[in-house]
Structure 1
Amino acid sequence: MTEKPTSIAEIKKQLAEISDVKDSRIQLWQNDSRKGVQTALNQWQNRLAKKAQLIENYQKMQEFEKLAYLKGYKYIAGIDEVGRGPLAGPVVSAAVILKSDANLVGINDSKQLSQQKRAALLLEIKKQAVAIGVGIIEAEVIDQVNIYEATKLAMQAAIDQLEPQPDFLLIDAMKLANNLPQENLIKGDARSISIAAASIVAKETRDQMMQEFAEVYPGYGFEKNAGYGTKEHLAGLEKFGITAIHRRSFAPIKDM
């Protein structure tokens, strides 16, 4: 009596648990003529390739932290900001010291991730961080000192919250005058796991703030545009005027 072939549904279930390309079942299924089996195998191979690429990217993004550890530094903080360009709301910075054995495969510049992925990674960052600090500089101060200086104030405020304090800084495209050893990296949020972690913390923090501001100041679309000058936001300015969270030094607000 011929043995009944394994169903495609069962093969898919088993593939979800296989990560070894040398698994004996793989060769068996490669010889299976059913189109559904071959499709399932192709999808499995694509998933493995994607996972391998994520691991490779993560290892590359650890290089700056590893170099700092080799130099004897123990508490390496990644620092990033979000919200330099909007017409409304604060600029928010975050500083994150990750555990030396942190495993955050899939982390990247927050702008490259979906909100769902950012939220999931934020939970992991909180679990795998030695310390997290957040610095928030409101629109009024931005208008007083300019956005560049406000960004530096936000970054320093985030660093000041860290406990333990860092002994080395990895900063996204900025240099801070605080006498701490530091390296500033252009597009650091895509090159360093610590900076990427900080970018996610900062973005999720600011996005939540803008959601809350949307309830206080309806009609500007803050829940969707995060304070950037979208068509809806500009229409809201024309209809309802300038709010307390608008940056009065930014065009077109300063001309209104």
Structure 2
Amino acid sequence: MPLPAVARWAMKVPGGTVIQRALSQAYVELTFTISAQYYTVFPLARRAERMGRAYLKRQVADPVVRDKLTPRYAVGCKRPGFHNTYLSTYNRDDVELVTEPIASVTGSGVATVDGTHREVDVLILATGFKVMDVDSLPTFPVTGAGGQTLAEFWSRHRLQAYEGVSIPGFPNFFTVMGPYGYVGSSYFALIETQTHHITRCLTEARRAAATRVEVSHAANDRYFAEMMRKRHRQIFWQDSCALANSYYFDQNGDVPLRPTTTAEAMVRSRRFPLSDYQFTG
């Protein structure tokens, strides 16, 4: 896919790619990270909801269909979708929006609970994700000290990881996409931030001639308590998200997203106390 003209121009200007990335990061930070993580502090999500409702009214003519397409939860409870022509599709005569639950799939179509049967040629099963499922994080088995698996640790103690990187009892194991590491903005920023954290640990291990690096239980408990203490500001813990059925929530009802900004996460990856880790030979 060809790059947009602005992106091609930015690559030719000295420092243009840095400016382009900064602007892109600022946009994502403002529209999701700050508005979702600091929902009770900044009313950005409420303004976005008003804009979304106005856009929906312009795009969909039928008020009944428009009401069915209107979410019953606040912006940010679920991951938003972006498309220029999706909503206007419902103005077509050959398009029908069906919100009744499916009772059964037959040999020729779909039957809904209201007794209606609709003939279909293609059925797409887009039923969602289990992003925070303990059994799929990570996608390979991890066994720590004493024979305990990572899945067992998280099932017993809930999803948690020190700064989203390390788990006590699992020496020399670091994760970039750990619980309470991702703030919801750029994955590039996440990778850079968590890699800096890991590099600091490995550099200290080399300096101390250590072969085993493990975060302490006390440090992990302190960080997890901090995440629990700050999460009340997030959009997920407001009444407006109660009916969202969002994949952000795990089996314990937690949302393991870090309740902070990208900038704070980056600073902490460079300043966390190395004494929170045990370096042994």
TM-score (norm 2): 0.23
Structure that is richer in helix per residue: 1
